[in-house]
Structure 1
Amino acid sequence: MAHAHTVLHSINYDGDTICVDVFRRPDGTFGFEEFRRDPEDGRGWFPIGHYGHETFSSVEAALDAATAHVGWFDASRLTPGA
């Protein structure tokens, strides 16, 4: 079953093999997850952070939590207004 989350931001770490997605759920709450992909493996991205179950009331709170929990993540890399 496909997720019904809407990805609001997807920020890649240098090298494009790790990223953090910040998303909105259908119920209006927000979350984030850290993903990894191996270029030689065609299966795509898979979660490695196990943060996707955490629930936040705003996108800003999800970004703050991602910054606190994912060592490389820097929310300042987002384009203002994006």
Structure 2
Amino acid sequence: MSKRIDKSWLVFVSVENSEHDRCVDIFSRPDGSYGFEEFRRDVEDGGQWTPVQYYSGVAYRSAVVVLDSAERTIPWLTDILVRNPELRMKIRSS
């Protein structure tokens, strides 16, 4: 589990880019809100996922809203979801 993802939050989708050096976790919180965070993985970090931004501090009211925000914020995410429509469906149904 990454540094900015609280242990009480449930990561229900983790999406990596084509180079496998960026990742977005989309999660739900016990209070019913949703969020996301972007991470990078570099050799100098020992291959561990390191948070890139502070997106996880924002609470969204639904999985659909968090997905829309993540796609607007993270340029590479839409391309991956277009190529893997099952991931988009998994997020929207959560």
Same fold (TM over 0.5): yes
TM-score range, shorter chain: 0.7 to 0.9
The two structures have a TM-score, normalised by structure 1, of 0.84
Tell me, yes or no, if structure 1 residue 79 matches structure 2 residue 81.
Answer: no
The two structures have a TM-score, normalised by structure 2, of 0.75
How large is the Cα RMSD of the aligned pairs?
2.1
Structure 2 residues without counterparts, runs of 5 or longer: none
Structure 1 residues without counterparts, runs of 5 or longer: none
Structure 1 pair 78/5, CA: closer, same or farther in 2 (3 Å)? farther
Query: Counterparts in 2 of 1:60-71, with a 5 A limit?
Result: 60-71=64-75
Distance 2:85 2:54 in 1: 22
Letter aligned with residue 17 of structure 1: D
The percent identity for this pair of structures is 35
Distance 2:43 2:13 in 1: 21
Letter aligned with residue 79 of structure 1: E
What's the CA shift for 1:26? 1.4
> When the two structures are aligned, how many residues end up with a matched partner?
82
Instruction: Give the helix-richer structure, 1 or 2.
Output: 2
Q: Deviations over 1:11-40 (max 9, x none)?
A: 101111101111001111000111011145
